[in-house]
Amino acid sequence: MIQATQTSNLTCTRSTAATFSALKCKECGAEYEPKAVHVCEFCFGPLEVLYDYSALSRTVTRESIQAGPKSIWRYRSFLPVATDTPIDVGTGMTPLLQANRLARRLGLKRLFIKNDAVNMPTLSFKDRVVSVALTRARELGFTTVSCASTGNLANSTAAIAAYAGLECCVFIPADLEAGKVLGTLVYSPTVIAVQGNYDQVNRLCSEVANTYGWGFVNINLRPYYSEGSKTLGYEVAEQLGWQLPDHIVAPLASGSLFTKIYKGFQEFIKVGLVDDKTVRFSGAQAEGCSPIAQAFRENRDFITPVKPSTIAKSIAIGNPADGVYALDIARKTNGNIEAVTDSEIIDGIKLLAETEGIFTETAGGTTIAVLKKLIEAGKIDPDETTVAYITGNGLKTQEAVQGYIGEPLTIEPKLDNFERAWERAQTLDRLEWQQVLV
Ligand SMILES: *Cc1c(COP(=O)(O)O)cnc(C)c1O
């Protein structure tokens, strides 16, 4: 067996800045040194970072956060790194857009879009988790980083590893969208395309992680990686003027993002940065891969794994690691978990684009379609201040909408031709036009 390339914790962390001291099992509470471990030796439960919240409430204020960088690192005290110089590629502080036109279309009074379709550097929320995981990987002495990805994670890991000068080898299912594959290859990592679905890729990676001693951002570094998603909670609270919304809707793959937005809100309440309040948490899945929505619907507290079949590949995880925790949060906050069909997902992508000028990928289409479905079912009240999390960019999943969005009217470079084309465009309303041209 190859030895882990991990050096002693003490030599690489300047612990003056660390606000965390241990990892703790979410199930049995056993504590571990904050190294590259992710499952409990006793009960196999997942490990989570433990912070000193009383110290945080003494030292962190709204002002101290606002004085920080315009990136996720303004919340560094709540993140599991010790260094004062994290890998900062401008990740985070993405726009929180008040979506009036979409709100009116759907019948809500106050709707916001948290737009991670324009996150840096690779246009998805995964840049948050990877910035944190690679900063911690460097602290722990790893020189090679890796991941098991549904697409966006490979883009992020490859890009940020390139910036940080880390060796990188990523694993993806072989049938990913062209934009996701190209958007990884361009950074020149080693890309392994596995003939199988994400769950099979993930199983293979667990074996590789044990043998090669690499830092797998979502396996042996998962406790650190997953904390990066909390910044999606912090930013929304800060951008709403240090207030929590009434209801959030977010996509679910492993369920990690969803549970960490919740943790982010809870921490801000705990240290006194926002007032206490129950935010309702609703989750979105694609029907072709909806193990968490199925368990919610059937009132089960366990997840039955499924074999994914959907265009929403970035959230196609059939055996979601944090599924039961996501279920619990949706239930205890009086939220919902819903699933939508692939054609509803395409409509969701188009609806967001037409009303708000945001081109999201299939995961964002899933979120918008579920938002619509919940409103129509009376499960989101028109008066609730609602935030929908858009987690990825549509330019990466172009094949999903190809054939559903019409075509340009191609003309010769003459005024006559333009006039005829314009007339034709006027006589057809948008829908008919699309039918003619598709
Ligand atoms: C990975 C991903 C998610 C969900 O991630 P989990 O934390 O595994 O639930 C959502 N949206 C996009 C675009 C993603 O790439």
Q: For 302-357, write each residue's pLDDT tens digit.
A: 999 999 999 999 999 999 999 999 999 999 999 999 999 999 999 999 999 999 99
**Which stretch of 8-12, 56-60, 110-114, 158-162 has the lowest confidence by average pLDDT?**
8-12
Identify the domain containing residue 435 by its residue range. 407-438
Q: What Å distances lie between residue 400 and 113, 295, 310, 338, 391, CA to CA? A: 21, 27, 10, 21, 16
Average pLDDT of the segment spanning 361-389? 98
Q: What's the CA gap between 144 and 324, in Å, rounded?
A: 32
322 Cα–ligand 1 center, Å: 12
**Spatial CA neighbour of 252 closest among 139, 117, 150:** 150
Residues 302 and 428 in one domain: no
> What b/e readout covers 348-367, taking b as 16+ CB neighbours within 10 angstroms?
bbbbbbebbebbbbbbbbbb
368 sits in the region (left: phi over 0; alpha: psi -120 to 50; else beta) called: alpha
Is residue 419 domain-resident? yes
Is residue 367 domain-resident? yes
Is residue 435 domain-resident? yes
Residues 379 and 426 in one domain: no
Average pLDDT of the segment spanning 283-290? 98
Determine if the peptide bond prior to 320 is cis (ω within 30°). Answer: no
Average pLDDT of the segment spanning 104-127? 98
Question: Considering its fold, how many domains does the chain have in total?
Answer: 2
Q: Answer positive or negative: Cα dihedral of 25, 31, 34, 36.
A: negative
Average pLDDT of the segment spanning 142-169? 98
Residues 371 and 281 in one domain: yes
pLDDT the model gives residue 432: 55
Residues 272 and 377 in one domain: yes
Average pLDDT of the segment spanning 43-55? 96
109 Cα–ligand 1 center, Å: 27
Average pLDDT of the segment spanning 32-49? 96
Ligand 1 atom 11: residue of nearest CA: 391
Tens of pLDDT, residue by residue over 269-279, are 999 999 999 99
pLDDT the model gives residue 11: 39
The alpha carbon torsion through 313, 126, 49, 299 (nearest 10 deg) reads -30
pLDDT the model gives residue 434: 52
Q: What's the CA gap between 79 and 90, in Å, rounded?
A: 16
User: Which distant-in-sequence residues (6+ apart) come within 8 Å of 181 by Cβ?
Assistant: 172, 191, 193
Residues 383 and 414 in one domain: no
The H or E element containing residue 168 is strand 167-173
**Which stretch of 121-135, 285-299, 354-368, 413-427 has the lowest confidence by average pLDDT?**
413-427
Is residue 61 domain-resident? no
pLDDT the model gives residue 431: 53
Average pLDDT, the chain: 94
pLDDT the model gives residue 385: 98
252 Cα–ligand 1 center, Å: 6
Is residue 254 domain-resident? yes
316 Cα–ligand 1 center, Å: 9
263 sits in the region (left: phi over 0; alpha: psi -120 to 50; else beta) called: alpha
Is residue 31 domain-resident? no
Ligand 1 atom 14: residue of nearest CA: 314
Residues 434 and 393 in one domain: no
In angstroms, what is the C-alpha Rg of the chain? 22
Q: Which atom of ligand 1 is nearest to the CA of 392?
A: 13
Q: Confidence band (pLDDT; 50, 70, 90) for 210?
A: confident
Average pLDDT of the segment spanning 23-36? 97
Looking at the predicted structure, is the pLDDT value of residue 104 above 50? Answer: yes
- By the 8 A CB rule, do 127 and 135 touch? no
Residues 261 and 324 in one domain: yes
Amino acid in position 350: K
Residues 299 and 337 in one domain: yes
Looking at the predicted structure, is the pLDDT value of residue 14 above 60? Answer: no
